[in-house]
Structure 1
């Protein structure tokens, strides 16, 4: 009996039918990790604690919704007593004294946190090639990127090692790797999931979310990840629906928005074919296609790459070698400590975005860039608000093409940034 490629629902059934023990599940997960070591998808493993929790569940069975389910956690969620690096040299030995709310919620639901997955450094990247701990490989092909920044989470789910993983999404970091690795992923509404203990990239854009083999498993994960959290001032305090309730509802009469302003000319033919065939499938199920206008959509990527780096430059200013994280050795004074720690601790892409962010926030450029980008952001939001008055959902492709080869876009940051075009 194997759990490889099994869903959460299937593994829960296997446990309840006593077809497999919790300890056997964990042992198989770590065997699969060893077999797939070439993926480089994990930074830190939590084997001893995982086995201990599994044995406890075998001795004391639980009916919690995720009891015994092995879950991989993206390595930017603080986890008490477990190294949390954000895939950066500057946090390469950081062990948090507390756990993020996402980690607590999932573990309180009974899951077994197998380990921390590799990612783009500080979630800045679209290919998982910026990690201090090396590139992550897509299970679908040698030397193919898994997408980013949640590439490690996408890779381990796609490889069948675990049924689900946590991820985060700022400008596509769940959706794009989910697409490139052939799994399901969701960026929930901002504030639906607490950001407490989630190491920040761009605070007004970051959002945690689930990654799994199926949409149903994403719903199961989302039910446990969501909660109001007083420690997060942006946490929503309204009623949380049961996300499993409406999974099999009919599409009859549902209106799908098709963006007239969307330029598909840069898309791979395979993506266009899948996109158009999916629309035909939904129409056959009773949905109606409705043309909508999003006139400011073309400005989304430029606006994002002003706002996000600006927030990044502010958030990452806390990593200076004084309070926590890596500290440069033998600096002659405090200024040199700051400079050397950050120079040695951050990778090239993180440095690039800090510089961009510092520039657009500086005197003389704030109004021309940052303020203008925030105004454009509001216009884009207004466009979507207007569109959703007439449709139930808006459907677009997720990526411009299938997974691309490692190294094929790293030398041109603009081409890499355009991977976020549809997210």
Structure 2
């Protein structure tokens, strides 16, 4: 029986992780759940899985939720609550699925406490990859990727020598607007952007998929997870989302991991590694699919991907600036304040204004993140609101 804590339990990854737990009640139990403001769903989760602790965003929400939960479930809030869930003594495995840089400190705390990490929070490695992976190595803590692309690479590398890797190839669906021209992108709406053709994800990640920033963040994440330089990390467009990523070896053999676009599969693999369990999902039928398509990802069509490669190569605080500016710009787009194309313009402008710190401490990363968000929120795009 593996005891787990889920940070971000009411989000897309968190709810699917709990579905995996639900399918295997003899293999998993829940020690702690941390959520934000969706207390109605959190109450249902807590009543079903009976964790020892739950955490919410504010004191007011904590006081409200206490009235609905049994007295044997501790209720905390804020950063202290999330940290308590991350380091809960009953938990041996922590699913880090809080969206944004808010997931960084709890993940670090879990690593320091010796917990095995299932990482679904890209920003943890994007903003502080050097610090996080150094701490994981120091504590001898496995960091197992949950993102479908990094899980695919992780699976392809089982039993292989890292020195034999030529490059890794991250596949991208192309997001909601993959068939639109740059001119057409100038007129798209928030509602259209949130309609992903293959995956069911949260709003922020779905927008990132449409701009291709999601793939850019994954490139930076892969750099830290697999210890490869950026010139050996390639991205390709693959509309079907059947091949989740590939590894090319020195002899030019390529290994790929295939499956239906169901996030429960990489979540379950992270939870059961190195074992595999059955799962109630549709099996992949290659005969029915018949054809798989691939195409180059053009930096001119997807400037956010180019910005991510640039930030990763420059290193230091630049990835944190890119991430903070992107989160702020996406929030402005979702509120209808700027256009879809203004997201990339905002990020580029904020990056251009930043004085890079080559070897940042954790405090520098958070300070730079605050600066980037403020700059992006106050940035005026010509013709925008």
Instruction: Name the one with the larger helix percent.
Output: 2
Instruction: Name the one with the larger strand percent.
Output: 2
Question: What TM-score comes out, normalization by structure 1 length?
Answer: 0.30
Higher alpha-carbon Rg: 1
Question: What TM-score comes out, normalization by structure 2 length?
Answer: 0.32
